[in-house]
Copies of this chain bind each other. A is one copy, B any other.
Amino acid sequence: MDKEAANHKINAVVLLSGGLDSATALAWAVREKGWQCTTLAFDYGQRHRIEIEASAVIAGFYGIKDHRVIAVDLPVIGGSALTSNMDVPKDGADKSDIPVTYVPARNLVFLSLAAGLAETVQAEKIVIGANVVDYSGYPDCRAEFLNAFAKTALLGTKSGVEGSGLEVVAPLITLDKSEIIAMGLKLGVDYSLTRSCYDPDDQGMPCEHCDSCRFRQDGFAALGKKDPLLP
């Protein structure tokens, strides 16, 4: 546990999607930083709903006492393959700068809800698993955006007016997938509990062909490790 946390208890809200990145970010917040964490998952009409259950299981694995799921009806907004009937591109078929799996303003919405929760649980940190791989295609994973968000949230919340701080912490922001997995393995993350696939089958097993599956496979392969989710 680091010195800051040893001196006074630090509360954090951790965005926990149930995927590989957010599980690693949670492990870092709990084991490396010693923060008291409230985990937050979203039921946003995603086709990979299995991640919602995965997030609860991962929260349990880390002894989190306060895990919440907020339903937010993003399909009303549309515009994404993850929340509509559009096909999820396979085997790298999507060559656009911003992939069709981008969900309009998703992290903005998720961070806003996290900022509201941070206020009620008196957390001064919001932890998000955004990283360099996502960053390359999703505008809402850029450090620049995350910093601007924290400032805006302070202006728009009671905590900000009353002088408490709010920091958006992205411990994985500069790491690629294999570096994230290496960090997680050191911290004892059980990756068999995590779900990454955008388009799982009825049993929740990964398609192995969407971008999210491919980045995950490449990450484990680069370390010469086997993904515990795969047969």
Chain A residues proximal to chain B, CB less than 8 Å: 68-74, 76-79, 97-98, 102-109, 111-113, 115-117, 119-120, 139-140, 142, 144-145, 148-149, 151-153, 155-158, 160-161
Closest-CB distance, A42 to chain B (whole angstroms): 10
**Contact, CB under 8 Å: B76 / A105:** no
Which of B74, B113, B145 has a CB less than 8 Å from the CB of A109? B113
A142 (CB) vs chain B CBs: closest residue: B155
Closest-CB distance, A108 to chain B (whole angstroms): 4
Residues of B near A156 (CB, < 8 A) are 105, 107-108, 139-140, 142, 145, 148-149
**Contact, CB under 8 Å: B152 / A120:** no
With A and B bound together, what is the CA distance between A111 and B74 in angstroms?
13
Which of B69, B70, B77, B157 has a CB less than 8 Å from the CB of A113? B77
Which of B77, B117, B160 has a CB less than 8 Å from the CB of A116? B77
A148 (CB) vs chain B CBs: closest residue: B152
With A and B bound together, what is the CA distance between A142 and B140 in angstroms?
24
A140 (CB) vs chain B CBs: closest residue: B156
Residues of B near A140 (CB, < 8 A) are 156-157
Closest-CB distance, A53 to chain B (whole angstroms): 17
Residues of B near A120 (CB, < 8 A) are 77-79, 104
